[in-house]
Amino acid sequence: MPALSPAPGKQQAAALRRLSRWLLLGEWRAHPLRALMAIAAIAVGVALGFAIHLINGAAFNEFSTAISSLSGQADLQVSATEAYFDEEIYPRLAQKPEVAVASPVLQLDAVVPGQKQPLRIIGMDSFRSMFITPDLLAVPASGDPTDSMAADALFLSGAAESWLGPKAGSMVAFQSGTRPVALRFAGSLQRARVGQRLGVMDLGALQWRFNKLGQLSRIDLKLRDGVDRKAFQAQLTQELQAAYPGRFRVSQPNDENQNSRNSNLSRAYRVNLSVLALVALFTGAFLVFSTQALSVTRRRSQFALLRVLGLERRRLLRQVLLEGLSLGILGAALGIGAGYAFAAAALRFFGGDLGAGYFSGVQPAAQFDLGAAIVYFLLGVGVALLGCAGPAWEAARATPAVALKSGSDEMALRRLAKAWPGLACLAAAALMALAPPVTELPLFGYLSIALLLIGGISLMPRLAALTFRLAHRRWQAAMAGRSAPPAVPTLTLARLANASGQAGVALGGVLSSFSLMVAMAIMVASFRVSVDDWLLQILPADLYANAGAGSTAGLSPQNQQAIRSLPGVAKADFMRLRSVSLAPDRANVMIMARNIDEAHLDKAMVLTSEVRVQPAGRKLPPVWVSEAMADLYRAKPGGVLTLPLQGRPHEFFVGGIWRDYARSTGAAIIQLSDYRAITGDMEVSGTAIWLEKGASAATVQQHLKALEFGGALEVTSPGELRALSLKIFDRSFAVTYLLEAIAIVIGLFGVAATFSAQTLARAREFGMLRHVGLTRRQILGILALEGGTLTALGIATGFVLGLAISVILVYVVNPQSFHWSMQMHFPWALLASVAGALLVAAALTALFAGRQALSGGPLRAVREDW
């Protein structure tokens, strides 16, 4: 082969390009499985990240657009901190000279008997709403325009019509309190968003039918031409604040507060899913590193020969980077295509909420996002280049005279045994785990996890060296008195003790995949068991009954007395739910009014803080806030929390903090008697029923259903509520389960690819062993024992690293993301089964690859070493 000039001409440049292609394609032909595994890992990571981005982006955009359609062309909206307010304010706004049109709106979620979800019905004055919200104009099926103002006319969107299935002119059943309400399907809303379940009625008819006379939800304002919207908004806000302190808010549709409120609703969930998706991409980066490190080590003498023949160091560096780049380009391109296909299928068959329920009621379609595709493509290519940067630098720096010598492979990996980079990463990870959230996201927690992984993997060569050298010395001491120690374990430990660099590279693949799988499995199991334990504590009654899901449900005082008087009922505790807004840029919080025995708070809630008692002389009503309320609104035990009730703010004394897995936006418990004294509202949303000794739950259920209003009641047992809650939990974590399964599969294939590559690269070593007298069976035994021993060390270390990561997930990431705490629980059966699968995969792969490596014959293998 002619020398390669440092300054080649056109012919030499063409020769270099042919050489580059030959080296690249030759390596792929020699080890296709290893390259395919690295490509697949990168493709999976890119596909999952890109798909989750598309799904959440499509769902969020459609959700925001659907909300915007309800605002129409309004310049300003006046709403209250509570769900409803008195319509007396309407004339005051309508008569302002700056206001061209003021459109009153009542919005409620009407209970649909037999359905788990309510239907949102909007009541409007059609003479005013036509100037502001034309998308919600009703189209009477009868052709009579006045039918839109009929007292029983209901107009449905296409999605609501498909859901309820009424025929033109037929009656649709709803529920107000426990009273049935029948409305006539009078026509369609032809301009409603696809998938948006919605009904529209005349404002007065809706107020009358659902017992909301004199109440509104908001007032849409259309300003006159030339009026400065921002200036009028500030003026009106100041005026309403002076007249009604803390009651009303003046906002612009789709302003920063509304966008933040919609975004915050699911932001933590979206970010956590995206980070979990990038777990696979991180594993892919390490598989690229493992692939390239083993490839460079095996071809060390070949690269040295090319250097001797004149190939420049920078061209050799470029060649190795090109090999990693090709893996990244192929993996990222496949990932983008697969991600779009997955997003389209998920949106088509499962909707846009990914099981979490944040974006129910919309039907988004996948839209290809070129900007995001470029970002994820570059991310995939970037991790591939990052993975091969170390091996490329080693290949370029190697001294040709040393690299040409046989047996110099381990020297190439000696730099990996340095401990200080890994220890520095672990120290930085510990510090970042203590850092607070950034914009309510655990960004430092994620960085801490990444540093733990990098630090743990970088320490593997040193850990392997210490472990196997100690094991080798102890084995030698144990065999000191024997003339012929067993060949298989002796040679296995000797090889592992003296080739710890290669062992560390092999262990890294096991470590990265298994530790991440362990961390996710522990986190999900901890959350699920904690939710189950929480349900056991908060569901102490024998039966639970409510009047349905929706703002129109309720039990009157007469209904409550009828339930108390039923035979077999020992006690019935009632609860009233009320949604209020405490901040314009946050979702509403839930106020839960219940009868609370302050002497035995642990029987009513799961407390996570000390119980505080008011100082003598203070007579504020008590409130107990959820962990989310404590984090989001800085409500601390012993402090004061202001809640808007009945049109004005009321101060409450914070008596403690309790755990609530049902509402991540915040909840507060107050005494039912305090709530009634403030609001005068005597209705309740549901009841918990304790049975008399010896009474049958089935019999009491029959008595409940036999009541005059019993048909409107939903009666469930604690077991049914637990089963339903855990089903919803599993649906919400379906994507996490998928990511966990992918981590396991990547780990299994990574183990197979790594051991296969190492075994095939040692054909000369096996030939020499055959030449000195070892049998094929003994060599295969060495390989199986070596693979099992390496994998066992990787599993043990991966469990420790995964446990550390799970601690950060449980005690840092989840509290900072969702504002709740949990206890650690370990899914031992799952962890043991995956560990066993990894051990079996490593041993079988080593045996299979060993048979291929031994297929050549000892003389040929030994001759290749000369």
- Residue pLDDT, tens place only, 480-511: 877 778 888 888 888 777 765 666 666 666 77
Q: What is the 3-state secondary structure (H, E, C) of 458-505?
A: HCHHHHHHHHHHHHHHHHHHHCCCCCCCCHHHHHHHHHHHHCHHHHHH
Q: What is the pLDDT of residues 619-641, one digit of tens each?
A: 899 999 999 999 999 999 999 99
Instruction: Examine the pLDDT at 98 and tell me if it is beyond 70.
Output: yes
**Cα–Cα dist 532/658, whole Å:** 16
Q: Check pLDDT > 70 for residue 229.
A: yes
Does 866 have pLDDT greater than 50?
Answer: no
Confidence of residue 186 (pLDDT cuts 50, 70, 90): very high
pLDDT at position 327: 82
Instruction: Give the integer Cα–Cα distance in Å for 747 and 72.
Output: 52
pLDDT of amino acid 667: 94
Instruction: Give the integer Cα–Cα distance in Å for 496 and 500.
Output: 6
Q: Report pLDDT digits (tens) over 147-176.
A: 888 999 999 998 899 889 888 889 999 999
Q: What is the pLDDT of residues 631-667, one digit of tens each?
A: 999 999 999 999 999 988 999 999 999 999 888 889 9
Residue 729 to residue 526: CA distance in whole angstroms: 12
Q: H-helix or E-strand containing 110?
A: strand 99-110
What is the rounded distance in angstroms from the CA atom of residue 43 to the CA atom of residue 287? 12
Structural tokens at position 693: 């000794």
Angle between helices 776-808 and 443-458 (to 10 degrees): 160
Nearest to 506 by CA among 135, 775, 790, 142: 790
Pairing state between β 179-189 and 199-202: unpaired
3-class secondary-structure state, position 221 = strand
Cβ contacts of 407-411, under 8 Å, gap ≥ 24: 408/300, 408/301, 409/297, 409/298, 409/300, 409/499, 409/502, 410/498, 410/499, 410/500, 410/501, 410/502
Please, what is the average pLDDT of the chain? 82
If pLDDT is split at 50, 70 and 90, which confidence band does 668 have? very high
Strand-pairing partners, residue 544, are 688, 716
Asked if 220 and 71 touch (Cβ cutoff 8 Å), the reply is: yes
Can you give the pLDDT at residue 260? Answer: 56
CA distance 335 to 333: 5
Please check the confidence at residue 581 and state whether its pLDDT lies above 80. Answer: yes
Q: 856: which 2 tokens? A: 């050549």
- DSSP of 760-825: HHTHHHHHHHHHTT--HHHHHHHHHHHHHHHHHHHHHHHHHHHHHHHHHIIIIIHHHHHS------
Residue 690 binned pLDDT confidence (cut-offs 50, 70, 90): very high
Per the CB < 8 A criterion, the answer to whether 352 and 61 are in contact is: no
- Position 75, amino acid: D
**For residue range 245-255, what is the model confidence (pLDDT) as tens digits?**
989 999 888 76
- Which candidate, 306, 406, 489, places its Cα nearest to that of 861? 406
> Token match 């490509």: residue?
39
Cα atoms in the 13 Å half-sphere on the side-chain side of 291? 38
> Do 622 and 598 contact (CB within 8 A), yes or no?
yes
pLDDT band at 2 (very low <50, low <70, confident <90, very high): very low
Lowest pLDDT segment from 396-400, 648-652, 771-775: 396-400
In terms of pLDDT, which residue wins out, 822 or 617? 822
d(CA 334, CA 353): 25
Confidence (pLDDT) at 424 = 93
- Quote the DSSP letter at residue 166: P
CB neighbours of residue 747 within 10 Å: 29
DSSP-derived 3-state class of residue 419: coil
- pLDDT of residue 597 exceeding 60: yes
119-124 and 199-202 beta bridge pairing: parallel
- What is the mean pLDDT of the segment spanning 97-125? 92
- 3 state SS of 613: coil
Is 60 exceeded by the pLDDT of residue 334?
yes
**CA-to-CA separations, 75 to 71, 256, 466, in angstroms, rounded:** 9, 14, 71
pTM given for the model: 0.81
Instruction: Rank 153-157, 273-277, 394-398, 660-664 by mean pLDDT and report only the highest.
Output: 153-157
Q: What is the mean pLDDT of residues 380-396?
A: 73
Nearest alpha carbon to residue 55 among 379, 358, 371, 351: 351
Q: Looking at residue 360, what is its pLDDT?
A: 59
65-69, 116-120, 208-212: least confident range = 65-69
Q: Which of 760, 764, 759 is nearest to 783 (CA)?
A: 759
What is the b/e burial string over 421-441, where b = at least 16 CB atoms within 10 angstroms of the residue's CB? ebeebbebbeebbeeebeeeb
Tokens of 218: 């908001």
Residue 167 is classified by DSSP as P
**pLDDT-based confidence at 835, cuts 50/70/90?**
confident
Q: Which of 172-181, 349-358, 425-434, 665-674 is predicted with the least confidence, judged by mean pLDDT?
A: 349-358
Coil, strand, or helix at residue 210? Answer: coil
Determine the average pLDDT of the residues in 319-342. 86
The pLDDT value given to residue 820: 85
What integer is the mean pLDDT of 98-109? 94
Domains of the chain, residue spans = 1-68+264-412, 73-252, 543-716
* Average pLDDT value for residue range 395-421: 60
The packing angle between helices 776-808 and 734-761, to 10°, is 150
Q: How many CA atoms lie within 13 A of 629 on its CB side?
A: 33
In angstroms, the CA 238 to CA 250 distance is 10
Give me the mean pLDDT over the 213-242 stretch.
Answer: 93
HSE-CB at 644 with a 13 A cutoff on CA atoms is 21
Q: What is the mean pLDDT of residues 68-75?
A: 77
Q: For residue 861, what pLDDT is reported? A: 46
Q: What is the largest CA-CA distance in the chain?
A: 108
**Taking 70 as the threshold, does the pLDDT of residue 863 lie above it?**
no
CB 615 within 8 A of CB 551: no
The tens digit of pLDDT for each residue in 8-64 reads 567 766 766 777 777 667 666 766 766 777 787 788 778 877 887 787 777 767 766
What is the rounded CA–CA span in Å between residue 740 and residue 679? 49
Query: Element (H or E) spanning 16, and its range?
Result: helix 10-30
The answer to which of 163-177, 324-338, 488-502, 531-545 has the lowest mean pLDDT is 488-502
CA distance 47 to 69: 32
Strand-pairing partners, residue 669, are 592, 624
Q: How confident is the model at residue 337 (pLDDT cuts 50, 70, 90)?
A: very high
| More confident position, 696 or 283 | 696
Please check whether residue 79 is in contact with residue 249, taking contact to mean a CB–CB distance below 8 angstroms.
Answer: yes
At 195-218, the pLDDT tens digits run 788 999 999 999 999 999 999 999
In the predicted model, what is the mean pLDDT of residues 791-798?
Answer: 87
* pLDDT value for 168: 80
Rounded to 10°, the helix 734-761/718-732 angle is 50
Closest-CA residue to 94 (of 224, 201, 230, 203): 224
Can you tell me the distance from the alpha carbon of 820 to that of 787, in angstroms, rounded to the nearest whole number? 42
Give tens-digit pLDDT for 441-480: 888 988 898 889 888 888 887 888 888 889 888 888 888 8
- Identify the burial level of 170 via C-beta atoms within 10 angstroms of its C-beta, where 0-12 means exposed, 13-18 middle and 19 or more buried: exposed
Contact 390, 90 (CB under 8 A): no
Contact 525, 823 (CB under 8 A): no
* Residues whose CB is less than 8 angstroms from the CB of residue 275 and which lie 6 or more positions away in sequence, other chains included: 446
Give yes or no for a contact between 509 and 747, defined as CB atoms under 8 angstroms apart.
Answer: yes
